[in-house]
Amino acid sequence: MSAITCFIRYELDPFQREAFREYAQAWGRIIPRLGGRLLGYWLPWEGTNNEAWGLVGFDSLADYEAYRVRLKADSEALANFEFAKAQRFILRETRTFCEDVQP
């Protein structure tokens, strides 16, 4: 179980759903390799059609910060960021860090 979860909310261009899917699938390879625990990505199914989410777990905020350093130096991660920038399917992205509550 992760101690810290990075909750990412994306506002999407709803007409580029498949581009976001491709972007999220790439993170499925990248995030674990760089030290994050990918809990998942979710696309809208019904209702609001322009909001998607991603959750990534870390043992601590320090682990997240070390992951971010590796992310900024990784060629596949940089290519995925560039893909999103070029295709412009992400209109806004926010991150919230949540502490896991143990039962």
Report how far residue 9's alpha carbon sits from residue 42's, in angstroms, rounded to the nearest whole number: 10
Report how far residue 44's alpha carbon sits from residue 68's, in angstroms, rounded to the nearest whole number: 27
pLDDT value at position 47? 86
N-terminal to C-terminal alpha carbon distance within the chain: 12
Express the helix, strand and coil content of the chain in percent, nearest 5 each. Answer: 45, 30, 20
What domains appear along the chain, each with residue ranges and CATH number?
A: 4-98 (3.30.70.100)
Q: Regarding beta strands 51-58 and 37-42, do their DSSP bridges make them parallel or antiparallel, or are they unpaired?
A: antiparallel
pLDDT value at position 5? 96
The dihedrals phi and psi of 78, each to the nearest 5 degrees, come to -60, -40
CB 53 within 8 A of CB 8: yes
CB burial of residue 58 (10 Å; 0-12, 13-18, 19+): buried
0.85 cut: is pTM over it?
A: yes
pLDDT tens, position by position, for the chain (103 residues)? 559 999 999 999 999 999 999 999 999 999 999 999 999 999 988 888 999 999 999 999 899 999 999 999 999 999 999 999 999 999 999 999 999 888 8
pLDDT value at position 2? 55
